[in-house]
Structure 1
Amino acid sequence: MTKLQTITLGFVLLFSSLSFAQDTKPEEVKNIMKKVADWQIEHFRDAFTYENPHHPLDWTNGALYVGMVKWAEMAEDDTYYVWLKTIGELNDWKLHSRTYHADDHTVGQFYLDLYKKFGDKKMLNPTQEQFNFILYHPANTSLKWQSPYHQSRWNWCDALFMSPPVWAKLYNITGELKYLDFMMTEFKATTDFLFDKDENLYYRDESYMGKLDNGTKIFWSRGNGWVFAGLANIMNELDPKSDEYQYFKGLFEKMAAKLLKIQTPEGHWAMSLLGQEFYPTPETSGTSFYVYGLAWGINHGILDKKTYGPAVDKAWKALVGHVNKEGMLGYVQPIGAAPGKAWPDKTEVYGAGAFLSAGTEVYKLYGGK
């Protein structure tokens, strides 16, 4: 091949890999993210699934904070950091009430992200103290569903978003291997129990194993979204050359390949991942987590841009189409544990958090700095 042919081929490959994003500008991504973030802060105490507002330290809000702190980093406006710091200060930087339950660890992610930025020990100490207690008093419960004290360990797939990234962040901050080792042991135990190696997807929990919905295995979209986004958040804290990173990378690649195959023609992922014909309604929380993970994978050189970029673009445009003129993200499935229903005029805080996480990576993918 001549030098001219090599250069020409390079340009062809470059433009073919970028062509999917040429009609969406980074500033458009940033603008819609701001709209969603501002609306959600204004409606922070509104409840959509139940009658009463969520506790500020509940996992629902924890997932919002995970996305909001990512948005704050790129917003060029301290408003969002001030809002997050206020929440931490009002709650003395403590985790929620249950010592072992992964859901109640979720807020630790934004506490530790703020610690990384501001270096204030009060943002770190309560989480570290509680996790030290867990290290020296580990739960010895079964991963089987509804066994005694079963949720003291990560026996439902949502948990892999909620708690493991906090352990990974503690390891990153302190350099102490005990946090990494605990996280790896428990994550592997959960994966060995819930991961279907034939489908490369996670069961929500043991109770869904062996069950069929309209003849298909039941793999809940948001449940697998929790896992997929959690993998990216964990790998953010690890050395890419480490064995631990490679373990998570392997799971991530398997899930990504499966997700690419089962994306709907409209761009979203069905609430029952293998049963899209039976669940045609869009669902934006699971889809947002997939967009976040896939875009993150491309941006970190794990996933091929030419292969996965069009899927991200299609899904992002679908998500944006479900943000109303005020900034509310619709079609967020209510709190649950299985495929169900969603509506264009109903949302939830974790949906906005997932959307903001997605936007931070889509912004970079589209050329934002």
Structure 2
Amino acid sequence: MNGIFKKGQLALTILTIGICSTAWAQTNAPTKQGIHSSMQKVADWQIENFWEAGHGRRVHEPTNWTNGALYVGMMKWANLSDDAAYTDFLKGIGEKTEWKLGSRLGRYHADEHTVGQMYLELYRKTGEEKMLEPTQKHMEYILYHPSQSSLHWKTPYHQDRWNWCDALFMSPAVWAKLTKITGDKRYLDFMIAEFKATTDFLFDKKESLYYRDESYFDKTDNGTKVFWSRGNGWVFAGLANVISELEPGTSEYKYLVKIYKKMAKRLKELQTVDGYWAMSLLGAEYYPTPETSGTGFFTYGFAWGINNGILDKEDYEEVVWKGWKALQQCVTEDGMLGYVQPIGAAPGKAWPDKTEVYGVGAFLSAGTEIYKMLQ
């Protein structure tokens, strides 16, 4: 892949890859066995290296949002593979954290809620109350003491609400799951009200994309608006995870599906010829380096939409195949997923030998839905 980045070969390589990937998508869809093997290899590498720093990443606290995003994908893979080793890995995390949400950034911060998605999924599998109670009590407190902070970026306690687009992956699915599990609609009502507030604030109606936060409203990058790939990937995947918990036909379902479809239409237009989404979605020519976290979340979102009858397969299937092929090109022989952009809030850089756990979570989420597409 290093040849892609030699200036003299860039245009020709992109054109060639585009032609090849389109033909591949039409005639060489991946096999179930190939997808399964690839996910297993990546999941095994990540578990083996989970407690070790290296490859551009440090070891994060078990409740950190980075790991929370990994657990979301790992849980999907554990359910698909039906191998107890993966469920046991996640249970071990829960035992270590005593099934508590994070606290580093405060009770209200969406990042600290992410790990709750895994806890609630394990509760569904086992029915063990200890997996449910801490998360439920945490959210009950917020229900009775909702934040009064503003969504504006430079106001006090501003991240006590979802005023950055990443938050729409981290917290809303926890609230939606709680309603589905308990039957208590208060959780869902709170989530929808906050989701609408965030969308009204950050969603660009012309581009059908989300700004990362208010600080990007007036910024440009090489003359284009700044719409960060992984940021919008957080939203697109988060929408899929939340909608999965809702009853079709309800007002909440219709509201979120409408946003999801608008994003899907625009994101299809922005996929590059080689199957990735550029780190700056409107500035692909300035960010030719592959990036796998945004691409993974988008690929997952599209495959999920097809599987659930929300997107037309004929219109969107090729988007999925191209995205999956692009991700496969970034997996090393031993199972490390490379080209994951490091922690950040805007377009940047990625490298073939650097990874991060949230990128693996996106990869496993995508692979799980693509596997289902082939069933």
Residue 277 of structure 1 aligns to a residue whose secondary structure is helix
Q: Is the 8 A contact 1:284 1:330 kept in 2?
A: yes
Of 339-348 and 20-29, more deviation after overlay is shown by: 20-29
Q: Is the 8 A contact 2:55 2:353 kept in 1?
A: no
Q: Is the 8 A contact 2:57 2:354 kept in 1?
A: no
1:211 aligns with 2:211: no
1:221 aligns with 2:229: yes
1:53 aligns with 2:31: no
1:342 aligns with 2:341: no
Q: Which residue of 2 aligns with 1:9?
A: none
Of 176-185 and 39-48, more deviation after overlay is shown by: 39-48
The alpha-carbon deviation at position 52 of structure 1 amounts to 4.4
The alpha-carbon deviation at position 240 of structure 1 amounts to 1.0
The alpha-carbon deviation at position 22 of structure 1 amounts to 4.9
Counting matched residue pairs gives 350
1:318 aligns with 2:316: no
Structure 1: distance between partners of 2:57 and 2:226: 29
Q: Which residue of 2 aligns with 1:16?
A: none
**Cα shift readout 1:258-312 (whole Å, capped 9, x = no counterpart):** 0000100010000000000000000000000000000000000111111110111
Q: Which residue of 2 aligns with 1:108?
A: 116
Structure 1: distance between partners of 2:31 and 2:319: 17
Structure 2: distance between partners of 1:26 and 1:264: 25
Structure 1: distance between partners of 2:94 and 2:102: 11
Residues 149/129 of structure 1: CA separation in 2 closer, same or farther (3 Å cut): same
Q: Which residue of 2 aligns with 1:66?
A: 72
Structure 2: distance between partners of 1:257 and 1:55: 37
Q: Which residue of 2 aligns with 1:76?
A: 82
The alpha-carbon deviation at position 365 of structure 1 amounts to 1.1
**Aligned-residue CA RMSD in angstroms?**
1.4
1:96 aligns with 2:126: no
Q: Is the 8 A contact 2:168 2:235 kept in 1?
A: yes
What percentage of aligned pairs have identical amino acids?
64
Residue 364 of structure 1 aligns to a residue whose secondary structure is helix
The alpha-carbon deviation at position 146 of structure 1 amounts to 2.4
Q: Which residue of 2 aligns with 1:243?
A: 251
Structure 2: distance between partners of 1:44 and 1:51: 10
**Cα shift readout 1:306-333 (whole Å, capped 9, x = no counterpart):** 1110111011001011000000000000
Q: Which residue of 1 aligns with 2:93?
A: 87
Q: Which residue of 1 aligns with 2:16?
A: none
Residue 127 of structure 1 aligns to a residue whose secondary structure is helix
Match for residue 148 of structure 2 among 134, 140, 159: 140
Q: Which residue of 1 aligns with 2:11?
A: none
Match for residue 162 of structure 1 among 170, 175, 192: 170
Q: Is the 8 A contact 2:70 2:360 kept in 1?
A: yes
Q: Which residue of 2 aligns with 1:29?
A: 35
Q: Which residue of 1 aligns with 2:48?
A: 42
Structure 2: distance between partners of 1:50 and 1:134: 35
Q: Is the 8 A contact 1:21 1:366 kept in 2?
A: no
List aligned pairs for 1:188-199, cutoff 5 A. 188-199=196-207
Q: Is the 8 A contact 2:162 2:168 kept in 1?
A: yes
List aligned pairs for 1:298-309, cutoff 5 A. 298-309=306-317
Give the partner amino acid of 2:159: Q
Gaps of 5+ in 1: 1-18
1:202 aligns with 2:205: no
The alpha-carbon deviation at position 49 of structure 1 amounts to 8.3
Match for residue 280 of structure 1 among 277, 283, 288: 288
Q: Is the 8 A contact 1:49 1:334 kept in 2?
A: no
Of 45-54 and 21-30, more deviation after overlay is shown by: 45-54
